[in-house]
Structures are given as C-alpha cells and as structure tokens.
C-alpha cells in the first residue's frame, strides 16, 4: 500500500475519472464512496471510460468467472491509453485486495493495484500515479487478523473498512440515478464456510452504527432514492459487535420512516441465524418488503456440514413456512452450490426435492470450484468438471421450471410496483423482486413515472417476470 514519493508530485488539477464497477451491490456502495472521495479531492467524475483521464476498475474476486471478468475489464480500460486521453488505469476492489502484488506483477497493463487501506487517500494515490510515481502493491494478508477477535472491541479499530465512511454523507457520490440505492449495513464475516474466501480479504464482521446508516438513508432519499437495499455479507449478524443482536429489528422501522423512502429491503440472511423476531420484523413492518434472501447453499445436512454450515430440508422449510404464515405473498430467493466435494447423487436429489418443496421465487445455481486458501480446496472427493457441469445443467433446468411455476402462481395477486424505467414500456419490481436478479414486473397499461409506486394486479407471467394491470 506504499507509494514511492521521492519529491512531492506537482499538483494536477482538473483530472477526470471514470469508475467501473463489477460484482455485487456491496461493491457498488464502495465505488460510490470512492467516487465521493475522488470528487472531494478535485477529480471530475465522468461516465464513459473513453472520456476519462483515469479509469478506476472496482474488481470482484469472488469466483473464477468474476476474476476473469475483472481482468478483461482492466485490459479493455488499458487499451484506452493508446487513444491518448486515458493516462492511468487502476485496479481496486476485492480482487486487488485479495491478490495485491501478485495481480500487479501478472497484469502490467494496469498502472497500479490499490488495496482497501488506500481508500481513505484515494485522491492523493491516483494523482501521484498519474504524475508517474510508482505504487508498490501490498502483499495480501488475512484481514481478519487486523481486527480484534472480540466483536465488541472492533468499533475501536482504525482499520479502513470500505463503505463505512462516517461523517458527512457527501463522502458518497451516487453513480446511478435510479430509484433504488444500496445501503451498507456491515462488512466482513465471522463464519468459516469451507468454500468461501471472502472473510480473508473482506475481514471480520463489522456493523455500521445505526446513526451512520440512518444519516446515509436520509441523504439517499434526498438524492431521489425510493427503495433502500440493505446489503452486507451477513445481515442477520448486524449489531452483534455493537452489543445488540436484535438491532436490525429496531432499525428497520426507523429506515422505513425516512421521508421519501417507499420501501426497505434486506438482503443476505443466514438461515441458521434468522431468528423469529427478525422474520416478523421483515414480514410485518410497514414499508419493509416481505422479502427473504436466504443463503441456503444446499439442503443435504451432510453436504452442509462439510461446508461448515447448518440446516436440513425440514428446518429450512419450517423457516419458509414461518415467513409465509406472517406474509403469505412474501418473496423468497436463495443460491445453491452443486458439485461440492463428495456430493453424492442422493445428496443432489435431496437438494432437488427441497427446491421443489420450497417454492422459491428465484434460485441462483453455481457449480463448485476451488477457491485459493479455502478449506474445501484441500478436500478429497472432487468431482470432475464435466460432472459438475452436468449437475449444474440439471439443477438449473429444474430451477427454471420451478421459477416459472412460482411466477404463474402469482397471477391474480395484487402487487406494488416500484417503477424503474419507462424507456420501453413501464418496467419495475414488485416487493418480492430484488434488484437485478429476481426478474421484473411490467405494467401493461396506465401512465407512470420512474420512482412511482403503483398498485397493480398480476395478469400474466413469463419466467420470473410478471405482467400486471394498474389498479
């Protein structure tokens, strides 16, 4: 994270910068914080990388395909330097933090690789890179070791945590003018799932203080946000390091009451930690979407134990039944991993039977792949790539059929649609549909503007998408 200084670089004013973001909604929040810091540091934000003096690529380091996409994007940005406008291309984000010097050595096309510790000084870092100073990328380390083991002591740490800037909300700059805005509840994770490397480069679990979350929520509403999408690596743990594990239950009504906010949505719930009080708060709090983004990952108890997770079909179905008893039209989605080391055909069948019984609105299906530094990468019983691909195809086919059936079940249901686009008809999302990944609801009649919340009745469906008539 050090930069060769020698003599101070001469100030460079009026530089333009384009932020390119890959990966999840958490990365989007980080990009908007970086954009705010850069703008406050004198940079001019532009949308098109081809119009920028500098391009900052916020990379994703989650799975192999995401890493490949990040490298491809960096190379595309580097190609812009041949046009004469772009002077520097810089990698930030999870892949940059995870691989540091290794990424810098293997990708000389990028002018610098910056880690999370560089974020507070991002404007100075970027200015010095444009001035020709050489930046030495960090040697990655396990970021869990940078924070106290005891969660309640973490609030005293000065270790930078992306997306947790406190103080003026102007430290964040919205890069998307849409009616939905992601709002970070926490970062990091204390779980030790054997397939996941995220805690090693995102660090231990750290909650944002409720006052900071509320302040940013009010600022987002002033910027035109109508729906707040609460994001973290594990929202069910929110507040545990602040001394109150039920803090989310008390925070949700306050967020929903923010002037201008029509809907609040919670993402990424750990099934084993989803307590009855939280289920009730999500299902029954006015202004909170009855939406359950439950990270099941599998259903076989034996596979889950090898993943260092907990659960089985019975307890997962009980959780869904509890939510639907409180909110019969509640949305439910999940992700699953197939082809985990040692997964038998019987365990795969258990997963498929669960998915049939669960009636989820959407399920993401991922094939297992080894991730650097994870326990599962050392396991015996690896399935070959062809077998994993075949299992992914099988489960994906089942999920597509189940998703279409679940959407068809909603015909005749009354929904509230948050309008997101009127470019080609009126498109939005109902309460059971999360941003980008859960399908859309199209209004077949009536006038509406972006940001409107429209009552409608579902008249047709196609895949996960719904078609509704305004009431």
For residue range 256-298, list pLDDT tens digits in order.
Answer: 999 999 999 999 999 999 999 999 999 999 999 999 999 999 9
Would you call 381 helix, strand, or coil by DSSP? coil
Residue 369 tokens read as: 């792949």
E strand segments, 280-375: 291-293, 331-338, 362-367
Contact 155, 241 (CB under 8 A): yes
Residue 3, pLDDT above cutoff 60: no
Residue 156, pLDDT above cutoff 70: no
pTM, full prediction: 0.91
Annotated binding-site residue numbers: 24, 60, 94, 189, 193, 196
Please state the separation of Cα 71 from the chain's center in Å: 19
Q: How does pLDDT run across 423-447, given as a tens digit for each residue?
A: 989 999 999 999 989 999 999 987 8
Residue 87, pLDDT above cutoff 60: yes
- Closest alpha carbon to 417 in 447, 452, 446: 452
Residue 143, pLDDT above cutoff 60: yes
Contact 214, 260 (CB under 8 A): no
Q: Which helix (H) or strand (E) holds 442?
A: strand 441-443
Annotated binding-site residue numbers for [4Fe-4S] cluster: 24, 60, 94, 189, 193, 196
CA distance 98 to 206: 18
3-state percent breakdown (helix, strand, coil) of the chain, nearest 5:
40, 20, 40
What is the per-residue pLDDT for 205?
93
Q: How does strand 88-93 pair with strand 426-429?
A: unpaired
Would you call 191 helix, strand, or coil by DSSP? coil
Q: How does strand 112-113 pair with strand 88-93?
A: parallel
H-type alpha helices, 311-418: 313-326, 345-358, 385-409
162 band by pLDDT with thresholds 50, 70 and 90? confident
Average pLDDT taken over every residue of the chain = 91
Segment 203-211 mean pLDDT: 93
């Amino acid at each position: 994270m050090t930069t060769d200084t020698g003599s101070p670089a001469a100030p460079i004013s009026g530089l333009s910068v384009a932020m390119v973001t890959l990966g999840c909604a958490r990365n989007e929040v980080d990009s908007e914080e970086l954009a705010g810091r850069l703008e406050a540091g004198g940079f001019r934000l532009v949308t098109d990388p081809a119009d920028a003096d500098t391009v900052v690529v916020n990379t994703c380091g989650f799975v192999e395909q995401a890493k490949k996409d990040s490298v491809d994007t960096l190379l595309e940005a580097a190609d812009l330097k041949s046009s004469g406008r772009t002077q520097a291309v810089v990698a930030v984000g999870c892949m940059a933090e995870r691989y540091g010097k290794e990424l810098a050595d293997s990708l000389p096309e990028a002018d610098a690789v910056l880690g999370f510790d560089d974020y507070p000084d991002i404007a100075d870092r970027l200015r010095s890179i444009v001035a020709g100073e050489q930046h030495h990328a960090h040697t990655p380390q396990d970021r869990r070791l940078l924070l106290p083991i005891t969660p309640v002591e973490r609030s005293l740490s000065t270790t930078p945590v992306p997306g947790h800037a406190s103080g003026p909300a102007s430290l964040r700059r919205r890069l998307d003018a849409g009616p939905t805005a992601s709002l970070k509840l926490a970062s990091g994770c204390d779980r030790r799932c054997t397939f996941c490397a995220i805690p090693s480069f995102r660090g231990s679990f750290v909650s944002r203080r409720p006052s900071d979350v509320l302040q940013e929520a009010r600022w987002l509403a002033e910027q035109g946000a109508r729906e707040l999408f609460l994001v973290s690596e594990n929202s069910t743990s929110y507040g545990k390091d602040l001394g109150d594990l039920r803090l989310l239950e008390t925070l949700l009504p306050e967020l929903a009451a923010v002037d201008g906010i029509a809907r609040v949505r919670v993402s990424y719930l750990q099934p084993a930690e989803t307590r009855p009080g939280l289920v009730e708060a999500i299902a029954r709090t006015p202004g909170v979407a009855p939406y359950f983004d439950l990270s099941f990952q599998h259903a076989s108890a034996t596979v889950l134990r090898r993943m260092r997770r907990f659960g089985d079909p019975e307890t997962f179905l009980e959780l869904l039944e509890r939510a639907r008893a409180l909110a019969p039209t509640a949305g439910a989605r999940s992700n699953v991993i197939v082809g985990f080391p040692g997964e038998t055909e019987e365990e795969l069948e258990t997963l498929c039977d669960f998915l049939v019984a669960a009636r989820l609105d959407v399920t993401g299906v991922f094939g297992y792949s080894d991730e650097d530094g994870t326990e599962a990468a050392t396991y015996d019983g690896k399935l070959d790539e062809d077998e994993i691909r075949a299992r992914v195809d099988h489960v994906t086919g089942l999920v597509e059929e189940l998703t279409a059936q679940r959407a068809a079940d909603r015909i005749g249901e009354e929904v509230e649609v948050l309008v997101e686009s009127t470019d080609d008809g009126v498109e939005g999302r109902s309460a059971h549909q999360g941003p980008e990944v859960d399908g859309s609801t199209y209004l077949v009649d009536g006038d509406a503007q972006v940001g409107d919340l429209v009552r409608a009745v579902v008249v047709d469906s196609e895949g996960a998408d719904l078609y509704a008539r305004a009431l």
